[in-house]
Structure 1
Amino acid sequence: MHLDDLTVGQAKQLAAMFQPHAQAMGDAREASPFDALLGKNIMIRTVTMIFTGRLLAVYPQELVLVDAAWIADTKRWQQFISDGGIDACEPYPEDQRVIVGRGALIDATEWLTALPRAQQ
């Protein structure tokens, strides 16, 4: 058998043998730690402060949030994480999709209090 004689299906099978973590069908990508947070409220700390929102989609280079807010200033970190202590908040319109580049991400966690929706 020569590589030039492979069918498209055979080439896909061969490629899959070298990508054990990729999905077998559709948009093949490796699993992400964010996959477990899909549909949940999250906090993302970035190089330009913080975003909160409900995680709608995960892509290799981006995360998509809805009901999002950009948090410019917080109370002490522990107060912010446990109680949602915020000093400055700029919410996006309800249901507007917000795309956050993963290259700007520092850390992220599930957000356990109500999403901030009022400007402060």
Structure 2
Amino acid sequence: MTQNLDQVFAALADPTRRAILAMLLEDDMAVTDVAEPFEMSLVGISKHLNVLTAAGLISQEKRGRVKWCKLEPDALRNASVWMQGFGQFEPVNLDAFERFLEIELPDPVEGVTPGADVAE
């Protein structure tokens, strides 16, 4: 469980990855559609998606020639249970999480360095 928690929190630490999760709250998206609002290469976006996939926060599925991304909301369950152990955190409510992301990330590409690639 510790390794999974480390991966989830590391994935959530990056603003680009949080923006991607916010986009996927709406619906499944093709990788090219996920990449569209960001000023970075498709390779850079793919690296972000791989981090999110490794953390279990999203899944990726190839349909024909197109790779699709889907949010996996249950992946936050272990993080929520861990935070509840401190007594000051409520269980993760995805509606509240979506509202939080909308407030924190009003523009999905805000804070993303133009042309920046991810080096992980």
Structure number with higher helix proportion: 2
Q: TM-score, normalised on structure 2?
A: 0.21
Between Structure 1 and Structure 2, the one with more strand by share is 1
Structure 1 length-normalised TM:
0.21
Greater length-normalized contact order (CA 8 Å, ≥ 6 residues apart): 2
